[in-house]
Structure 1
Amino acid sequence: MLTTSTFLIRFKGGVPWYTVDLDSPPHKRWTALITDKKTDVRMLRSTYLANAFVPSGRLIELVDIALPVVVDTLPYPFSDEIKGIATTSGVPLGEVVLFNIFYEVFTVCTSVVAEDSNGELFHGRNLDFGLFLGWDMKNKSWIISEKLKPLVVNIDFTRNNKTVFKSTNFAGYVGMLTGIKPHIFTLTMNERFSLDGGYIGILEWILGKRDGMWMSFLTRSVLENATSYEDAKNRLAQTKLLAPAYFILGGNQTGQGCVITRSRVLSLDIWEIDLKLGRWYVLETNYDHWKEPLFLDDRRTPAMKCMNQTTQTNISLKTMYDMLSTKPVLNKLTTYTTLMEVSKGTLESYIRDCPDPSYCKITNLLYKTALILTQPTSETPTLHCKKLYKN
């Protein structure tokens, strides 16, 4: 039974809107946003460097020396935009480059595209970030995840004073992880774990092999330039990448929803909504849909259980929000939830908070390792897909 009585899901608030004018010179496009968020950007800078895998002093030295050189190898307009962000924020250029690179390899998410019984398409996602990048024992939270929340912004990208696409971003990040081209398609990206992963692609780029595209630059290019669902799907499936990924794409017609499973070189699978087979939604976390998820990180099972109990007749932005609020789909890493409705051209985002108990085994593993590995958790997760939506 679905219930909300067991515990409350904290809601930290809405997300502010900014406009990025694509007619402006690239180095000036982010000035207003970064000026507003300068203090938070600087705070994150010191936090992620202090909580990286290598001593922060050594990392700062490497970043400040090596990565400014990398920025000039990035495609237009991203290199100029990153330089402008560094100038406005006062953060060293190499560290702004690092801030953008991190999202190629550390993003853990849940995304879903669903079609209701009237043919309307809805797209939702939780953006989880900060795994293994510092644990706050006192507050029982991931340090980077908490520092990112003040940087969450919605952006209206315009040209000739008209919306081209909208996105939810972190201030200082020029790629796209979540976005909508109003009335045409919606798009999110989830990280795909692979031995041939993003670190290899990034290293190859630094060493001079640059025949692949940065994942988040591709998604931004698709949002800006693709003219249809099929056009977007082809670009996402066929472009060589630096990092493997899952692209979750929704269109504006019945049956237009898919998960594109990518290696760095090619498309491994395109899993689509198929009403004839009873598949009215496609849902992706961070594992190939034809394989079992890691037992320590099974967000897929509770998410699908909640979707199935909701039913196609009752799916909406409200019920999708409630599914994304089901622990451990919502967890200590979740920074924001975004909901998109392509037919209305709307994107709305919410900064999230996950109170204890988290029911996330990876998080609990930090302080309950023996308990998790030897016996079930003492509290049984209860799905709560009612009365959580905030609008």
Structure 2
Amino acid sequence: MKQLLGLFLACGILFLTLETVDAQGVINNYEVSLDVPPELRWTKVVEDYKEIVQFAHSVIRSYVPEDLIPLVEEIGADIDNYIKQPYAAEMRGIARALNCSLGDVVLVNLIYDISAFCTSIVSQDDHGQIWHSRNLDYDFGGMLRNITVHVDFVSEGQTVYSAITYAGYIGILSGQRPKAFSITVDERDQGSIFENILVAILDKKAVPMSFLVRDTLANEPDFESAINHLSKTDTVASVYFIIAGVNPGEGAVITKERLATIDIWRLDPANGRWFEVETNYDHWTTPPPDDDRRDPANKAMTRLGQSNINKPSLFAVMSVRPVLNNHTTYTVIMSPAQPQLMQAWIRNCC
């Protein structure tokens, strides 16, 4: 998979202040109404980025072996039998708005779901407030920076949950339920990307990770119920779920295989574990030397100190290279106890 996706270029490790970091590009904000028919929810978002999304679809499709395309077209032709509502209807509406193949919309959503390389950090400051930081990295970073959006999912005039996502992508890899919890997804470096796609298509019990996150944000009321739901649901691929809550100690990393949870690694501030860093490798193992983002992030957090946690300082941590690298599309910082703090930046590194 690393060869296919072209993993990150090695960069020097450098601790930066907020003022010295180049965070470029404006992330547009949208509301997606949960009160309108699913087919209409994403029309405004994708039409604003129509040409870029169409180009992204064509590029991503070119990465997929030709013998897999008929399976993707099959799921597109019988989408209601493979993908649950409202996601099937939302994809149908996106395909209509883009005037493109429904199979392409399905394919892009599956590829995004299982091909991300990321860094997520959950931390607790010295006042007991929980913070959640994340960089989302893709091999298609240049394109995806141009279609990164902030979406508030609203019902009856209230924000139910929010996400930083990509136009044309209906799942959630970075999201927040106000006053409850936030979730990020890090890909777990296990198995072939194409094997995972086949599982996604053929195993109807397995849920795409981004759909599971969106379901959790929509339906679960608090941190513990979110952990329970995420850890007990079958997924299309191995994955890390990083979760932040609103009460002291509410931070965890779930390490999950497709059909079972291996480990739930919780914050333990009383014993000195006031932050946890997750990249794309099990936290109890040593990351490979050619992709070690964990150690620079750990060193930056330790240097920062628990008493200095805030949005600018966490942004600086996420700007340490190679935590920030050529494939980073955006940085987001959240604190679900104070949902108004949620902010994302499009990143251009090196």
Query: Under a length normalisation based on structure 2, what TM-score does the superposition of the two structures give?
Result: 0.91
Q: 1:260 aligns with which of 254, 275, 291?
A: 254
**Corresponding residue for residue 12 of structure 1:** 24
Does the 8 Å CA contact 1:109/1:125 hold for their aligned counterparts? yes
**Corresponding residue for residue 75 of structure 1:** 84
Does the 8 Å CA contact 1:64/1:93 hold for their aligned counterparts? no
Letter in 2 for 1:183: K
**Corresponding residue for residue 171 of structure 1:** 167
Q: Say if 2:326 is the partner of 1:332.
A: yes
Structure 2 unaligned regions, length at least 5: 1-12
**Corresponding residue for residue 101 of structure 2:** 92
Q: Say if 2:142 is the partner of 1:152.
A: no
Distance in 2 (alpha carbons) for counterparts of 1:240 and 1:26: 25
Go from structure 1 to structure 2 and tell me whether the alpha carbon gap of 1:198 and 1:239 turns closer, same or farther (over 3 Å shift). farther
**Corresponding residue for residue 9 of structure 2:** none
Larger Rg: 1
**Equivalences for residues 1-391 of structure 1 within 5 A:** 4=16, 9-50=21-62, 52=63, 54=65, 58=66, 62=70, 65-69=73-77, 71-72=79-80, 73-130=82-139, 144-195=140-191, 199-207=194-202, 209-346=203-340, 347-355=342-350
Does the 8 Å CA contact 1:31/1:88 hold for their aligned counterparts? yes
Distance in 1 (alpha carbons) for counterparts of 2:252 and 2:200: 29
Letter in 1 for 2:182: T
Aligned-residue identity in percent: 36
Distance in 2 (alpha carbons) for counterparts of 1:277 and 1:14: 40
Does the 8 Å CA contact 1:67/1:98 hold for their aligned counterparts? no
Query: Under a length normalisation based on structure 1, what TM-score does the superposition of the two structures give?
Result: 0.82
Please state whether the residue corresponding to 2:150 is helix, strand or coil.
Answer: strand
- Greater length-normalized contact order (CA 8 Å, ≥ 6 residues apart): 2
Please state whether the residue corresponding to 1:13 is helix, strand or coil.
Answer: coil
Structure 1 unaligned regions, length at least 5: 131-143, 356-391
Structure 1 residue 66: Cα displacement = 3.2
Distance in 1 (alpha carbons) for counterparts of 2:183 and 2:177: 8
Deviation by residue 1:264-319 (Cα, 9 ceiling, x = unmatched): 01110011110121000111000000000111100000010000000001011111
Structure 1 residue 168: Cα displacement = 0.3
Letter in 1 for 2:129: E
Deviation by residue 1:108-162 (Cα, 9 ceiling, x = unmatched): 00001111000111111000011xxxxxxxxxxxxx2101111100000011111
- Root mean square deviation of aligned Cα: 2.0
Distance in 2 (alpha carbons) for counterparts of 1:182 and 1:263: 28
Please state whether the residue corresponding to 2:153 is helix, strand or coil.
Answer: strand
Deviation by residue 1:3-47 (Cα, 9 ceiling, x = unmatched): 549x95432123110000001101001011111111211121222
